Copies of this chain bind each other. A is one copy, B any other.
Amino acid sequence: MNIHDLAKELKVSIGTVSRALNGRSGVKDETRERVLKKARQLGYSPNQSGRSLRQGTTGLIGFMIVTNRERAYRGEAFFMSVLDGLQTFLASRGLELVVHLCGSDQDPEVHLRRIVERRLVDGIILSQTQRIDGRISYLNGKKLPFIAFGRSQEPGKYSWLDLDFEGVAEQAIDHLVSLGHHRIAVASAADDINFGHVYVEACRASLAQRGISLPDEYILREALTEAGGYAVGERILALEHRPTAIVLVESTMALGLYHKFHDAGFEAGREISVVGFDNSPTGDFLRPSLSQFRLSHQDLGRWLGENIVSQLESRAKNKRIRQVNKIWPMEMIVGGSTGLPPRNDAINLELLAP
């Protein structure tokens, strides 16, 4: 069933059918009705390859996810709600979202090049950006609209959206320091994903502002998984100068960390305070509940959709694409995992006062 068959069935020309279906003007109302009805009846939809070839656009927006065996189970689940928000928005604009997975043994840049060169999509959103990310410099050289979900150190003007790691670090550190903590560790990503670096540096800056240093042994780089959290627990419990608090760049780690604490007879919020990251249900259902940050994944997805569509529209009108860089604010929700430091570790501010 193609446009010729449909036209023959209706005894009109393919041009008329095309105009009718695409809402072009210059078709008699009655004819348009007939065409639409018959198309519905016969289940006809235009072949996308034909359309794409003629129009030069596919109507598809790509979202690239790099699967990583280690993190595959939960880390990427973060994206599901983001994708839900994105897809819902795109659908409202007649666009279709397609998610491209990059297998754990493939090179993300090579994979991206294939997608772009074959013209599979009209625009693409990258995620899990690395500090040095060849995908970004590659796309900077193309005219394809794209957004990096996550900052990078790649030079050049391009649109990106990122979580407010600085704000999160500041709120977390402020909360902990005001409780009296001054030995605060940071658990971050083991690989070169950019936010891992950003978060550590943001914590360092927030600590420094309060006259507190972040020694190397308090920076714990592990997998962003339950197992990684467990490893973090082992490492901090083994330290001679144990921290009294730890901030995590990913809430999933909390489960492993709690487990290790449990084994050692510790409890989060008593011996060691813990701050998670984005609001995972896991954190809410831990005991004690995890102090973490409010974040609407759906809204994030919607923002991505609005922004990529605006790029598409600029391009269609041959206008210059406006680059947007957005830091997504997040707000702390204090749970039971943060409390006063153990007595002999607290700075008693009153005693220090003259």
Contacts and interface: CB of A to CB of B under 8 A. Distances in A.
One complex includes copies of this chain to the number of: 2
Contact of A49 (B87, B101, B119): B119
A93 interface: no
A77 interface: yes
A281 interface: yes
A74 interface: yes
A268 to B, nearest CB: 13
A66 to B, nearest CB: 10
Interface string A275-299: 0000011101111000000000110
Given A45-B117, A281-B227, A285-B226, A81 B87 contact: no
Interface string A88-105: 100100001111111111
Nearest to A283: B226
Nearest to A119: B47
A252 to B, nearest CB: 8
Contacts of A241: none
A81 to B, nearest CB: 4
Contacts of A286: 255, 259
Interface string A174-206: 000000000000000000000000000000000
| Interface size class, chain A | 35 or more
Interface in A96-121: 96-106, 113-115, 117-120
Contacts of A101: 83-84, 87, 97, 99
A56 B197 CA distance: 47
Nearest to A52: B49
A76 B84 CA distance: 11
A243 interface: no
A115 B84 CA distance: 17
A314 interface: no
Contacts of A60: 120
B91 A103 contact: yes
A80 interface: yes
A141 to B, nearest CB: 10
Contacts of A47: 53, 118-119
Interface string A223-257: 00111011000000000000000000000000110
A84 B72 contact: yes
Interface in A41-76: 43-50, 52-53, 58, 60, 67, 69, 72-74, 76
7 contacts: A47-B53, A67-B83, A67-B84, A84-B104, A96-B115, A97-B101, A99-B100
List of 5 A-B pairs having minimum Cβ-Cβ separation, nearest first: A77-B77, A45-B117, A99-B99, A49-B52, A88-B103
